[in-house]
Chain A
Amino acid sequence: MLTQEVAMRTPGQSNIEMCIQCGTCGGSCPSGSAMDHTPRAVFALMRAGMRDAVLKSNMPWMCVSCYCCTVRCPQDIHITDVMYTLKNMALEAGTIQDEIASDFSKAFIRYVENYGRSFEIGLAGIHSLTHMRLAARLPNMVPMAIRMLTKKGMLPLPPKRIKGIDDLKKILKRAKSMEAA
């Protein structure tokens, strides 16, 4: 059962099965208007076992982790945490329609896995270059980038590696080998 599968992959007791379809989550979401389905609708699709529709939805990728839905939900469902699970499952299934969001996350993590720290400065620019839609905004971003470099005194060099980077790599390798559930 899809709902159970998602619940098992979410830490703690997420209460997904308790959804009464009230719509508080959909009503609270700041990026609700950008989603193809509201969070509530995705829970309904989950109940109906419509795996494909659930994993293809752009809804979890639009989540900003503001937790408004989670604190307001009358059934105490850990909605934001479920969003992360749906993203994990969508990546595994390879069904993501628009890869902008997942590409950004992957690019972000590439630095973390190799240096132990993130690399904001270059990341935004590189991310924009690899996605043509965003490349159109590059002209706007150039002044911002220049100012970042001059005002904030930051150089576009990758961060220093942490000392324990090898240990970190071992930890992450071990973690990745674990079953998701």
Chain B
Amino acid sequence: MSDYIFYPGCSMESSAKAYYDSVMAVSKPLGISLKEIDDWNCCGATEYLSLDRMPAYSLIARNLALAERQAADTRTVVAPCSACYLNLSKTDHYMGEDKAFGEKINEALAAGGLHYSPGELVVRHLLDVVLNDVGLDAVKAKVVRPLTGLRVVPYVGCMLPRPDYGKRYSDTERPTELDDLMRALGAEVVDFPLKTACCGGHMTQIGPDTAFELIRRLVSSAVGCKADVMVALCPMCQMNLDAFQSQMNGHFHADYRMPVLFFTQLMGLAFGEKPEKLGFGSEFVSAREAMSRIGVATPQPVVEGAAARPRKAAGLPMPPPRVTARQSTGKD
């Protein structure tokens, strides 16, 4: 079992309980032991940064300081929420890059008896740990119920691949990590054009017109690709697409019905866990019908969605696919 320091984030205890349950359920088969930071606080999402810079970064840094203090066998902090992950890694990054800024933050932390040395910890998203530490081979080995025939949209969102301070991901616009993971679970992955298009974030509360348009384009594109389900890796994305789907439908007089799950829920299913333990049933747009499809014996007919159409041999040749050596570090 590999140890990791765990930063759950506020949503995991409320709106994203399904994410929390499924993360806990898959951690054992994945061989990762998540030690929650004792007495962690909210990272402030994008809200505090909008109001006042210094307390915002100090709020986030308190978690890093606590983690540093509590770190025993590992220096890695895992956050399953993209916004929390970005906030923690951004704070660590700027405290290291801008020495004067880092000193000021530590001055604020000192008022609470804390200190953080930038660079002491490595902050990573859960997806990164699954792919790069556990590895796809180990994941495949744990699959007892492959998700064959399930057409999955790998929705990565914004804050995971961008701005990518640690250069951990394959691309800032169309990263392949989540695709590869879903494929390892046996699912059929849709070549989704809006993989990293924004879900609207907190615009549902501030500018609903904008938010609903962003949600609509994602959902309608998934429907257009004849996907069965979308998977997300951030509680905000999942909530926007799932919980707000009916409001979006109302706004546009549409009738989309696209279930949106957390990637760990599908992982858990593939590992043979019971759906109830993985938070199934708590989603707004029911995933029951989509899941029933993979329990069915008759093969799912291959539907030619817009993304799956094979290129015809006639016509002019296309440029060859680009092969890059870039993994976690460095550009190619």
Q: Which residues of A contact B (CB under 8 A)?
A: 9, 11-13, 30-31, 33-34, 60-62, 64-68, 70-71, 78, 80, 84-85, 87-88, 91, 100-102, 104-106, 108-109, 112, 116-118, 120-121, 124, 127-128, 134, 137, 140-141, 143-144, 147-148, 151-154, 159, 162-164, 167-168, 170-176, 178, 180
Contact = CB atoms under 8 A, between A and B. Distances in A.
A60 B207 CA distance: 13
A105 B10 contact: no
Given A12-B94, A152-B14, 16 more contacts: A12-B98, A12-B101, A31-B214, A34-B209, A64-B158, A64-B201, A100-B207, A104-B205, A117-B10, A137-B208, A140-B246, A164-B62, A171-B111, A171-B112, A180-B52, A180-B53
Contact of A176 (B40, B52, B284): B52
Interface residues of B, number: 72
27 contacts: A11-B57, A11-B101, A13-B97, A30-B210, A33-B210, A34-B207, A61-B206, A64-B198, A66-B158, A68-B158, A68-B162, A71-B172, A71-B173, A84-B50, A88-B53, A100-B207, A108-B48, A117-B13, A118-B45, A128-B205, A140-B247, A152-B14, A154-B14, A159-B10, A164-B112, A171-B114, A178-B54
Contacts of B246: 140, 143-144
Interface stretch (B102-110, B300-308, B317-325): B102-110
B54 A175 contact: yes
A61 to B, nearest CB: 7
Contacts of B210: 30-31, 33-34, 62
Contacts of A109: 44, 47-48, 51
A180 B101 CA distance: 10
A140 B265 CA distance: 28
Contacts of A134: 205, 208
Contacts of A163: 39
Interface string B270-288: 0000000000011110000
B46 to A, nearest CB: 5
Interface in B177-216: 197-198, 200-210, 214
A143 B250 CA distance: 13
B158 A151 contact: no
A67 B159 contact: yes
B247 A137 contact: yes
Nearest to A173: B111
A155 B110 CA distance: 36
A65 B41 contact: no
Interface string B236-248: 0000000110110
B22 to A, nearest CB: 14
A112 B42 CA distance: 7
A60 to B, nearest CB: 8
B51 A106 contact: yes
A172 B55 CA distance: 5
A28 to B, nearest CB: 10
Interface in B54-77: 54-59, 62
B97 A12 contact: yes
A87 B50 contact: yes
* Nearest 10 A/B pairs, CB to CB: A167-B112, A67-B162, A174-B111, A66-B158, A175-B108, A66-B198, A171-B112, A175-B58, A175-B55, A116-B41
